[in-house]
Amino acid sequence: MSENGVATNGEAEFETEDEALQVLLDADIDKVMAGLDRIVEAAPSYEKLFMRWQRQHWSTEDFDFTTDIEQWNDPELMSPEEKKFMLFGFSQFFLGEERVTVELLPFAIAAPTHEAKAFLTTQISDEAKHMVFFDRFYREVLGMKAADIGAQLEAQRVNVNKDWETLFDGILHDCAERLRLDPTDFPALVRGVTVYMIVIEGTLALTGARFIVKAMKQREWLPGFTAGFTAVNRDESRHVGFGVKFLADAIKDDPANAQIVQDTLKECLPIAPLVFAPEWVDDPYSFQTPFYHSSEVFEYAMKSLSKKLAAMGLDPAMLAGDPA
């Protein structure tokens, strides 16, 4: 039985066997984002998130880069300014995938239930796959050769900005270190999930990906990369669904956890929007890219974050006054 599309178990009821999953399988990035909203609102169990992982497998070798190679090497198709900005965005994602792969293990060890641990182990696998996908793209399409993935990543560090380093090498690493030293520190896990799944994945990565994919599709550029990157973000949507459910449950169990989430957002949000800004722009809060204006990105990111806070039982008004 259901009422207004909500099942008796409190999860959203879909007309098909798994309507949310079907939406995420769509190649339209806006439908992927809409699917994330549906997942967040449904608050599926860790078991259902695990089952979605089993049904959404893909391989880094699934995507044909033939057209991508031709386009990237066509001097008439993309301007140097467009390529420069694209490389900035690609590199922030590539290095970000490596960071979240390395830092997630202490989260899985610290997870309080076997169901949560099981899902987080799937996420470690996902993040590693994303890193390998980007490595393949850099080698085959961008023509950037390196001895191994580590050397490839190191060569791209010049493309990320200082705020990226503060968030990933500073705050995220600190979260992982605290959990590594004491896996029983639940407040540290609440902080870590807020940083990892809500700020980095849910607010920054999915927003950045949405604008990259839309720009590529509008121009019919890099179809192999676009298909692969959409698959990456189907995975990220699942990860964010985990984070929202985990924090919603934590807040219900102990309202003090809401303050941890709020304090963590206050720590991250002055830094997070600046991750979108290349080092060469004059004003990191207002700049024009070859594809969109920064105001569009900031607005989308904050709306996305507000939806997640509401699903966690928090008032999005807490974001008032934070720069974006």
Taking only the tens place, the pLDDT of each residue in 65-106 is 999 999 999 999 999 999 999 999 999 999 999 999 999 999
Residue 99 lies in a domain: yes
Q: Could you tell me which of 192, 151, 197 has the C-alpha nearest to residue 173?
A: 192
Q: What percent of the chain clears pLDDT 90, i.e. is strictly above it?
A: 77
Could you give the number of structural domains in the chain? 1
Asked if residue 275 is part of any domain, the answer here is yes
Q: Provide the domain limits for residue 273.
A: 58-315
Tokens of 49: 């998130």
Nearest partner of 227 among 54, 35, 62, judged by Cα: 62
Task: Identify the band that residue 29 occupies on the pLDDT scale cut at 50, 70 and 90.
Answer: low
**24: in domain:** no
Specify the pLDDT at position 18: 44
Question: CB–CB of 264/194 below 8 Å?
Answer: yes
Tell me whether residue 8 is in a domain. no
User: 176-212: per-residue pLDDT in tens?
Assistant: 999 999 999 999 999 999 999 999 999 999 999 999 9
Instruction: Give yes or no for a contact between 322 and 270, defined as CB atoms under 8 angstroms apart.
Output: yes
**Over the stretch 206-230, which tens digit does the pLDDT of each residue have?**
999 999 999 999 999 999 999 999 9
Does the pLDDT value for residue 259 go beyond 60?
Answer: yes
What CATH number should be reported for the domain holding residue 280? 1.10.620.20
Q: Between 240 and 36, where is the model more confident?
A: 240
Give domain status of residue 12, yes or no: no
Asked if residue 297 lies in contact with residue 291, where contact means CB atoms within 8 angstroms, the answer is: no
